[in-house]
Structure 1
Amino acid sequence: MCGIVGYAGGKSAAGELFEGLKKLEYRGYDSAGISTLGGGSIFTIKKSGRVEGLAPRMGELEGCVGIGHTRWATHGEANDVNAHPHIYGSFSIVHNGIIENYAELKAELSAEGHVFFSHTDSEVIAHLLDYYYKGNFAEALSLACSRLKGCWAIAALCKQFQGFTVTRHGSPAILGEGEDGFFVASDMYALMGRARSYCILADGDIALVTPRGISIYDGQLQPVARNFSPLEWEEEEVGTGGCPHYMLKEIRQNARTVRATCRAFASSGCGGQCSRLKEADKIVLVGCGTAYNAALAAVRLLGGAYECPVSAHIASEARYDPPRVTQKSVCIAVSQSGETADTIMAAKILKDGGAYLIAVTNVGYSAITRFADKVVPVCAGAEVCVAATKSYIGQLACFHMLAAPCAPRVRCGALMKIADDIERVVSDGVYAANIASLCVKSRAVFFLGRGADVDVAVEGSLKLKEVSYIFSDGYPAGELKHGTLALIDESVLSVVLICDESLCEKSKTAVEQILSRKGKVAVITTLPHIYAELSARVSAAWLLPCAPSHLAHFLSATALQLIAYHAAVMAGRDPDKPRNLAKSVTVE
């Protein structure tokens, strides 16, 4: 969600921070700002809107030390005043997270004569630093944090200190060492190409970062040694790769993701988890958004491979109403970033209840990997578009491999074949654009399917509404006549997935029900006879490569991602940065 960057070194801080903020744009934000320290003064610019909006005022910033922020509003509307950094006295702060007791702290400090300017929860941190500062910056930050409730990552400047401080509690903060200085960022992506090594700050640690180096202290302000690891990155991962948007680039990487995930599963010893699943008394999956939709597909896959009950739960609900688990249970937490707050909390609760925890994530150094019993890697590479595409496909590949306890090589071979078919789907952009044009002209779009197609329908609906802002919903085709049929008319499009031979006749019934009420229909199928039978009667039809029903969701999901992308572009939206949304949801 919000993004933090910090720099102390031999270069102008303004340029380093601006570039860091640009790399954090994909996380989602509504305002941005920078503070620098030079000659004992703090210089600040901030503005609602894009990071580019700061460019005309970059000349106002001086010094080789500074902090920057992209804000995703939680408390207070998106405007210039509420943008970070927040200034009070000798201090400037940026903050990720939520301060739950800010109202009582604000009232207490106001009674002491402090004047507040914003409507944010974050501003109270700058006031607490001013209140507690007696010449020791680290001590003031420690005392300030002792008053906070909630979660936070904080970077702060002080006029009397030639550097900045960083601390965290429940929100990510990563330190970086580079050739020309030292960094902090809330996301590893902001360090790529800039830092040669990194260290993930532990909860409660306080780091003092200066142009000369980094000193780290624990919660009792005792010096501690934390290991820095080499930061490996590929130049190819940075940029859109010749595509107009990251979203299209990343959809085109779906096939590569399947292949890489299968290879990593075999080489990392993840196959041993199949025996753990085989012995489980239940398998519980938790996730949010697209990760939850992948978990729905996993229920069918794992339920067909193992004898125990398998269930999927929305993490934000599971953390307050967790399913019962035992020491024989397995929890699978699904998160692209590995930093999703609700998923982390739900996973911790289930692990504390005795469950063995498997993390399925795309980020190997993320928070969830540090307490999971086993990590199953999604090898999608950096995913910049806010809407998940290739990471969803990678999650499906992980679940297919976990669902093959007896024949992993056979399953891997089948996935390698489906990867070739994914590339064929990606090349059929004209079909995606045709259906996308129908979506843009429709008042609403419904995605329907039966069996495994339902899970893809739900994800396809989410993808369309995320990036195009067109209202959509996804549900089982059999539920059409139990309410939604009342909404069908000539202004509504229904996208019907028919990829299961055993259920195709039932799915055709839904198509007939919609057509009889003058609704528009687009059919997406892997079955040639369905395409031949329906293509002339519906508004659009797309025949995907033939595939077994349990593998077809790789193809139909890719098709729906392409449709969502083209619909967003046709509607004049930015598919990479949908409004109000964030890539990594690090607050509740």
Structure 2
Amino acid sequence: LESAAPILVKGLQKMEYRGYDSVGIATESGKKIVLKKGVGKVVEVNNSIMLDTLPGNIGIGHTRWATHGKVTEKNAHPHSSNSGKIAIAHNGIIENFEELKSELQNKGYKFQSETDTEVIANLIQLNFDETADIKQSIMKTVNQLKGHYSFVVIFEDGTLAAARFHEPLIVGVGKNSHYISSDVLGFIEKTDDAIYVDNEDFVIVDGSGIHIFDFDGTSVKYQVTKVSKEFADVYKGDFAHYTLKEISEQPDTILRAVDNNQIEEFVDNIKQAKNLYITGSGTSYNAAEITKYLMSKFAKIKINTLISSELPFSPNEIEPNSTLITISQSGESADVLEAVKIAKESNANILSIVNLLNSSLSQQSSLAIGLNCGPEIGVAATKSFTSQLSILYKICDQLCNGCINPDWEKVSSAISQILSNNSKVKEIAKNLKDVSDIYVLGRGIHLPIAKEAALKLKELTYIHAEGIPAGELKHGPLALMDSNVYVIIINPNDSTYNDTLNSAHEIKARGAKIIGISDKKSNVYDYWIDIPSIDEALYPLIEIIPIQLLSYYSALEKKTDP
């Protein structure tokens, strides 16, 4: 049997895009749990405390992005229970952890960390001490937890147990091995056979194999699915970072995205829709906003955009028997899945655009279109965004009988041109190193791109960036403009050009530095990033590329890991 620790370290390196502030591993050896963890990236922590030398062939690991408690070694996962006989790694948030914690403290349990995770470890210990039965103790525990979570627990006898409630959980099935993960990337090098665990199910893996139950303890039939082989292809090649590799793949990925024979069926579903909604989170929501503009202008179809995380607070937003289009890279975003659940209560038809066709979202949809862009490991969504847009453009084009008529080869070569001519972007990145505020202006169809640009800058550089409508300057933003501020103007030579240029002049008068992204030069720009001219409707597909590059190179200058 193989040692678990080196496999865990390798898997965690692949998962670092989910969080990289601390890392740890716990293994079972000689009926005892051994645990090591530290602050930093997987490679750094492994070099200093040699995680991969832990003994035993059963183990759990975690790479963390802090939600409860500061970034410290004590708060890093895995967490052990008071007895040290149980260790846990966990994703998500336990909403009632404070009350559970005080109940456990009253029973004499001590806590080493500020996390909600340690509460689960001690709760399982309490339930296991009472029942001496792993299945019963997991059932009791999940019954007491409120929130969205998935967790995996290791017991000192080497049994693994994992539960899923609105956060992803996938089991890789090897010849004589099992791998429990929140993402197929965690085990894809070992096996491409996977079980996608359903919501409100839990898994026990012991010497006799794998057993899956629902939260009531009823045995669940499961199926093993082949994971798309392309997800094994996660090597950076000659690129310094995955983010740069993924930005550079876009001339190809947009062509792969539109080469999809399911789009017609998607269009038929939309034509029959009584009411139409589109939802996503973060980058996917920005793609939804562009779709709203395209549908209204070209297809004369009204579509309502919904931020997925907001829907639980206005659940009546969705009319009965409507159609909801969901956009997601992973298909596992808890907010998007919750939005789907709410929509289904109103008998909505769910259509999805998603990168992972085996994901929870695909399974909840009556029709799912794959982005076909390969795995996206970088923290910031880049190629998945332009792939989403490409599919949405193609859908809108079919809805208006070819009135947009995008020339995809031309779009692809325009992106290639921007990518190959990046020396100016690198120069500007040096100037952004010490900036504390960046504003991004856009009008009309360029406003969602301004918001997406600000999101990329925040995600990669940690600089405060805000996307604002160019016409709203006088309502607040203008007062913030001074010589310490950089403003990016998204301003191709189209119907918005002159109005946006006027806004640039107002900002210039306040002393702010202006970066113009345009196919037309202007004296008002302190820095000009030239983009190729293209059909007016298609600019969003290419004007985001220089900002993805700018965010990446600025992150390098600031030494924040892109």
Provide, for residues 443-496 of structure 1, a one-character-per-residue CA deviation record: whole Å limited to 9, x for no partner.
422211222122211111121122112222221221223322222233322221
Q: Match for residue 351 of structure 1?
A: 344
Q: Per-residue deviation at 1:29?
A: 3.5
Query: Cα gap change, 1:48/1:412 in structure 2, threshold over 3 Å: closer, same or farther?
Result: farther
Cα distance in structure 1, aligned partners of 2:511 and 2:212: 67
Provide, for residues 486-507 of structure 1, a one-character-per-residue CA deviation record: whole Å limited to 9, x for no partner.
2223332222122252222212
SS of the aligned residue for 1:376 comes to strand
Q: Match for residue 135 of structure 2?
A: 138
Structure 1: runs of 5+ lacking an equivalent: 1-9, 576-588
Cα distance in structure 1, aligned partners of 2:297 and 2:316: 21
Q: Match for residue 275 of structure 2?
A: 282
Letter in 2 for 1:245: H
Cα distance in structure 2, aligned partners of 1:151 and 1:236: 28
1:198-217 to structure 2, matched below 5 A, reads 198-210=194-206, 213-217=209-213
- Larger CA deviation: 217-226 vs 35-44: 217-226
Q: Per-residue deviation at 1:561?
A: 0.8
Q: Match for residue 15 of structure 1?
A: 6
Q: Match for residue 41 of structure 1?
A: 32
Q: Per-residue deviation at 1:38?
A: 1.4
1:376-525 to structure 2, matched below 5 A, reads 376-405=369-398, 414-440=407-433, 442-525=435-518
Letter in 2 for 1:140: S
Letter in 1 for 2:215: G
- Larger CA deviation: 85-94 vs 208-217: 208-217
Cα distance in structure 2, aligned partners of 1:85 and 1:520: 47
Query: Cα gap change, 1:542/1:236 in structure 2, threshold over 3 Å: closer, same or farther?
Result: farther
Query: Cα gap change, 1:45/1:408 in structure 2, threshold over 3 Å: closer, same or farther?
Result: farther
Cα distance in structure 2, aligned partners of 1:236 and 1:146: 36
Query: Cα gap change, 1:261/1:64 in structure 2, threshold over 3 Å: closer, same or farther?
Result: same
1:215-230 to structure 2, matched below 5 A, reads 215-230=211-226
Q: Match for residue 23 of structure 2?
A: 32
Q: Per-residue deviation at 1:127?
A: 2.0
SS of the aligned residue for 1:474 comes to strand
Q: Check whether the contact 2:68–2:116 (CA below 8 A) recurs between aligned residues.
A: yes
Candidates 288, 293, 301, aligned match of 2:294: 301
Q: Per-residue deviation at 1:553?
A: 1.0
Give yes or no for the alignment of 1:257 onto 2:253. Answer: yes
Q: Check whether the contact 1:359–1:374 (CA below 8 A) recurs between aligned residues.
A: yes
Cα distance in structure 1, aligned partners of 2:392 and 2:334: 22
Q: Per-residue deviation at 1:368?
A: 1.4
Cα distance in structure 1, aligned partners of 2:342 and 2:398: 27
Give yes or no for the alignment of 1:565 onto 2:544. Answer: no
Cα distance in structure 1, aligned partners of 2:411 and 2:426: 23
Q: Match for residue 584 of structure 1?
A: none
Cα distance in structure 2, aligned partners of 1:522 and 1:177: 51
- Larger CA deviation: 51-60 vs 170-179: 51-60
Give yes or no for the alignment of 1:364 onto 2:357. Answer: yes
Letter in 1 for 2:136: E
Q: Per-residue deviation at 1:360?
A: 1.8
SS of the aligned residue for 2:277 comes to strand
Cα distance in structure 1, aligned partners of 2:487 and 2:191: 48
The answer to which structure, 1 or 2, has the higher relative contact order (CA under 8 A, 6+ apart) is 1
Structure 2: runs of 5+ lacking an equivalent: none
Identical-pair percentage: 31
Q: Check whether the contact 1:31–1:49 (CA below 8 A) recurs between aligned residues.
A: yes
Provide, for residues 3-62 of structure 1, a one-character-per-residue CA deviation record: whole Å limited to 9, x for no partner.
xxxxxxx10111111111111111114222111111111111112222231442437622
Q: Per-residue deviation at 1:518?
A: 3.1
Q: Match for residue 153 of structure 1?
A: 150
Q: Check whether the contact 1:258–1:397 (CA below 8 A) recurs between aligned residues.
A: yes
Q: Match for residue 545 of structure 1?
A: 532
Q: Match for residue 92 of structure 1?
A: 87
Q: Per-residue deviation at 1:141?
A: 1.6
Q: Per-residue deviation at 1:235?
A: 7.8
Query: Cα gap change, 1:207/1:489 in structure 2, threshold over 3 Å: closer, same or farther?
Result: closer
> Under a length normalisation based on structure 1, what TM-score does the superposition of the two structures give?
0.89
Candidates 61, 66, 69, aligned match of 2:62: 69
Q: Check whether the contact 1:453–1:499 (CA below 8 A) recurs between aligned residues.
A: no
Q: Per-residue deviation at 1:283?
A: 2.2
Q: Check whether the contact 2:185–2:232 (CA below 8 A) recurs between aligned residues.
A: no
Q: Match for residue 171 of structure 2?
A: 175
Q: Check whether the contact 1:28–1:72 (CA below 8 A) recurs between aligned residues.
A: yes
Cα distance in structure 1, aligned partners of 2:481 and 2:133: 67
Letter in 2 for 1:144: T
Provide, for residues 551-574 of structure 1, a one-character-per-residue CA deviation record: whole Å limited to 9, x for no partner.
011110111111111111122221
Q: Check whether the contact 2:437–2:463 (CA below 8 A) recurs between aligned residues.
A: yes
SS of the aligned residue for 2:496 comes to helix
- Larger CA deviation: 17-26 vs 324-333: 324-333
- Larger CA deviation: 426-435 vs 315-324: 315-324
Q: Match for residue 320 of structure 1?
A: 313
SS of the aligned residue for 1:482 comes to coil
Cα distance in structure 1, aligned partners of 2:321 and 2:192: 42
Q: Per-residue deviation at 1:347?
A: 2.5
- Larger CA deviation: 327-336 vs 51-60: 51-60
SS of the aligned residue for 1:275 comes to helix
Q: Check whether the contact 2:188–2:232 (CA below 8 A) recurs between aligned residues.
A: no
Cα distance in structure 1, aligned partners of 2:399 and 2:77: 54
> Under a length normalisation based on structure 2, what TM-score does the superposition of the two structures give?
0.93
RMSD: 2.2
Q: Per-residue deviation at 1:109?
A: 2.5
Cα distance in structure 1, aligned partners of 2:458 and 2:158: 47
